[in-house]
Structure 1
């Protein structure tokens, strides 16, 4: 099919500035901020400015000094010969609109790296710089390489808002139309707007007021990009199931749109992002073989500072740059993705058709191109962007039975060289990943080191199975070691690194059987288990159908409550005694048939004890009955309760039966404010009480002596009261029985040589 000739009738508008001026070209008709009367979105128009760069005398450097411009948000540097490349560095800096703030120098990718049949010019990748009104350029061939001829700066204002559809006043489309006599047809490889032979110094270039030259008939510079032979006209408009697209002309035979094994992601149509179809009136082309074999991933090598709301404007800027500045027939990429994950329809012809793009020189005829807006040389693309690339790649490859994780054999449409130095001849078969980077098939950095290093992840996400699947926890129950316990119901929680948009579903398995199915966005599911031991796992099903399963967790369902095999009991213990805090020990033992989790003290205070703890030290107020309540929990959540009540009672020394000589001592440090002391050998005090535990309370010092202790008439022990520090109200001896009963306790002064004194504060018993 012969690509129709088109040329642009433009009016040169000079935008005067403080330090220079540039030629302003209208990209379409008049711009307006109003929407069409029928409410449908219309094309968004914009403008472009161009000016030639001043070349150095030896042709190895070029520049454009600081100057004011009309408003623009995207720029690039282009040159006359489409096949030429800039071997050095191309740098620009811009002034933020309405301010005096200049950006740092931005290096442009020196080669757009595509290969559009009939391209008018070569150029760098376009760079999004945000709303700007000033610019400066420098190009350095590094002293050894001559730069291509016709170097110029191209500025694009992509416009904003929705506008009404306008007659394409800015161009004429007619194969036989006579060009404007003021515009001469350029010779192949020349550019009427290029500088004349440079002088030996670098200076500001003159303002060029010539309009954009007529676009010549395209030549098959990329055999793989050549349009297929002209087919018979289609009899009906094609249907596009995935999203509305501009319908190709009925004169184009539209290939079928086979169903895919993967769902289509949401796609923003050309109409929705404001494509002005009037600037690219040619019919779309389709892959000669009618099938996509691989997806080539790109970045647009521009700033990452755009906002999500600016995504459509960035796409419009690239579209205008490709068509108006480089002379391509349409946007080069089949799809574009912004950093927020929005997918945009690129080259027209139907998103579900094998549309031929201009994105991978030598391999356009067998691939589709997906480009992420931004530069990813050192910064990896966002997860949202990578997810969308994986989704669009899986969908397109799924239409033709290509495994996204596999390889594809492509036939080189021309000789070439990769970024890694691999070379091939025209017609050579190349084995490449089904999802690969532009650098694999062309000598370019695209899609940047940071993005290229993530392509393995994109392939895994696109082709499955779900990666990073892990069973995080089983809740609603307890766990002991690797075993989880429950009465019956459990909530199983999991995670995965594959984005949810690429997961078809999750299945909860109990003993190998599916008991619950959730959406791919879920991270948990519930199940009710019968009594017994079970194996619980999660299976993730990728949108490709590939499945992966977590390791199984052991879950025991049981409803038997724990038991207190030793009922709670109390005993007095050693320690300091006062009327508000008599030291005592609470004891118990709880067991469970499956797994005891803990024992909680719920009254008179709250404490929690591990499953192996069977006693705890506490204090209780004297002369007050206190109930100690315990609750045992097993790992399944079953419980049992038990309690004990006790009353500590203080017996003052004055209530004892005395024998021998005792004297009274008074001090606030003594229990009750008084104590008995004796140094007389065999002097004794005897108390009688009814209880189940008893403690003798004494005061102690370095000169304290010893005392024999008799219980119910039997000597049990001899206690030494000597202490390195002075102590008052010290319970230093205790005795406990299994039940409460009547008992007598007698203390007898030993009369220890050199330190015979014994001082007692009384007795405490527990009933």
Structure 2
């Protein structure tokens, strides 16, 4: 693995860029202890309300298979929250069906329309057979949905049709489906066991003076890494003129900048040998956020990934908001090959970039596509990867490629290239060609 030297230009940001050196002998994930969890009894910012879902249909109308009966919660008052998701016991089980929620805006008393929550989130996870996946803490989970400050909620979970016919619940409101005659309802597949509604309040950022064990003796961590010129980037990375194919480092808002409390995540960090590819995702959290709220959205996703889904940290290596701001994701050092939990089967030797929002039927902003090009030109350039090229990754196991298969992929791929999924949404996926070309130009290719 190439060494990364901090130049005088980046001294102010060295604490956020460089972690203790790691010796890498192979592509197998490595781990190193860098921080301690919060002391017992010490409160973390934000909160999570975890509410068990219950059968919705009257007992006389429930399916012959109790596990297929719709579940949810009736309209109710709750403590303030801003993000919602559903989790279940078995991380390997799929929720084949629909999740619909509506929420009441805090302080206004108005209820939203019914919104769909993306149910297939298991493809955003650690690879099978890894310590993170096999920790015993990981749960099945939907994508999280950002709803803004709310104090009331109603939810309904309906399994998909067990036959080849179309699932009517995908096109009707919960009330319409509840009123359908029993003879009109399709046979339903079982829902996963242990369904719970997770309501996440991001809370305020941790106090300015708080720090983890790795920061002992340092005055502070930077809230952002400033953009560097091409020459400054090459000097900062210790590159020589013979290998100039690296884009200028873009401005990156650090974990401290968006308010990640380092006491929440697991104390160990994983690394792999290099970064051969970047997988682009959308967060599927919806587009109803302002760029000023992006830090709160990230803190909510962070808490949902760790506290609700049982992951060791934020799943993606980087995040991008609709205004083109770039954020450090999973801890470990933005220049280092940090092992993420973003593309099931292909987390090793790759980096994951999530655009905050849902881009199945909405076009991604040009600023976000440009940000993908800028972060990949720099990150892939550090590891000698050409954004226009293809590379080979070994599958860790998934629904498209069996474990151990050598797979030829674009250096900048969409999530769906490695896993059968809608992610990163059709509209964003169609922009990846533009991102590849722009990224390569920024590298000087």
Pairwise TM-score range, normalised by the shorter structure: 0.7 to 0.9
3-state SS of paired residue (2:375): helix
Is 2:354 the counterpart of 1:365? no
Q: What is the deviation of 1:443?
A: 2.2
Does structure 2 retain, via aligned residues, the 8 Å contact 1:62–1:139?
A: yes
Q: What is the deviation of 1:67?
A: 0.8
The partner residue of 1:29 within 40, 43, 58 is 43
* d(CA) in 2 for partners of 1:167, 1:346: 17
Is 2:193 the counterpart of 1:149? yes
Q: What is the deviation of 1:164?
A: 4.5
Is 2:311 the counterpart of 1:336? no
Does structure 1 retain, via aligned residues, the 8 Å contact 2:223–2:255?
A: no
Is 2:416 the counterpart of 1:433? no
More strand per residue: 1 or 2? 1
Does structure 1 retain, via aligned residues, the 8 Å contact 2:361–2:425?
A: yes
Match in the other structure for 1:449: 426
Match in the other structure for 1:569: none
* d(CA) in 1 for partners of 2:208, 2:120: 35
| Equivalence map 1:479-558=2 (5 Å) | 543-546=442-445
Does structure 1 retain, via aligned residues, the 8 Å contact 2:223–2:256?
A: no
Does structure 1 retain, via aligned residues, the 8 Å contact 2:315–2:340?
A: yes
Q: Deviations over 1:332-362 (max 9, x none)?
A: 0000011011111000110000001000111
* d(CA) in 1 for partners of 2:144, 2:376: 24
Is 2:107 the counterpart of 1:77? no
- Structure-2 change in CA distance of 1:396 and 1:461 (3 Å): same
The partner residue of 1:129 within 147, 161, 167 is 147
3-state SS of paired residue (1:291): coil
| Equivalence map 1:567-586=2 (5 Å) | none
Name stretches of at least 5 consecutive residues in structure 2 with no aligned partner: 1-29, 57-61, 127-131, 161-186, 227-235, 240-244
Is 2:168 the counterpart of 1:158? no
Paired positions, count: 351
Does structure 2 retain, via aligned residues, the 8 Å contact 1:29–1:167?
A: no
TM-score by length of 1: 0.43
Match in the other structure for 2:115: 106
* d(CA) in 1 for partners of 2:223, 2:437: 23
Q: Deviations over 1:713-746 (max 9, x none)?
A: xxxxxxxxxxxxxxxxxxxxxxxxxxxxxxxxxx
Q: What is the deviation of 1:394?
A: 1.3
Q: What is the deviation of 1:389?
A: 0.9
Q: Deviations over 1:356-409 (max 9, x none)?
A: 100011100121000011101111111111111111111111112111111111
Name stretches of at least 5 consecutive residues in structure 1 with no aligned partner: 12-27, 31-44, 174-236, 246-255, 418-422, 465-542, 547-767
| Equivalence map 1:624-663=2 (5 Å) | none
Is 2:274 the counterpart of 1:291? yes
TM-score by length of 2: 0.73
For the pair shown, the structure with the greater C-alpha radius of gyration is 1
Bigger relative contact order, structure 1 or 2 (CA pairs below 8 A, ≥6 apart) = 2
Q: Deviations over 1:33-86 (max 9, x none)?
A: xxxxxxxxxxxx211111011146521221111111111111110111111111
| Cα RMSD after superposing both structures | 2.9
* d(CA) in 1 for partners of 2:108, 2:222: 47
Match in the other structure for 1:88: 97
Match in the other structure for 2:54: 54
The partner residue of 1:262 within 243, 247, 254 is 247
Q: What is the deviation of 1:2?
A: 7.7
Is 2:305 the counterpart of 1:322? yes
Q: Deviations over 1:518-550 (max 9, x none)?
A: xxxxxxxxxxxxxxxxxxxxxxxxx2224xxxx
Q: What is the deviation of 1:243?
A: 5.8
More helix per residue: 1 or 2? 2
Q: Deviations over 1:67-118 (max 9, x none)?
A: 1111111111011111111111111111111122111111111122222323
Does structure 2 retain, via aligned residues, the 8 Å contact 1:299–1:448?
A: yes
* d(CA) in 1 for partners of 2:334, 2:224: 7
Q: What is the deviation of 1:286?
A: 0.4
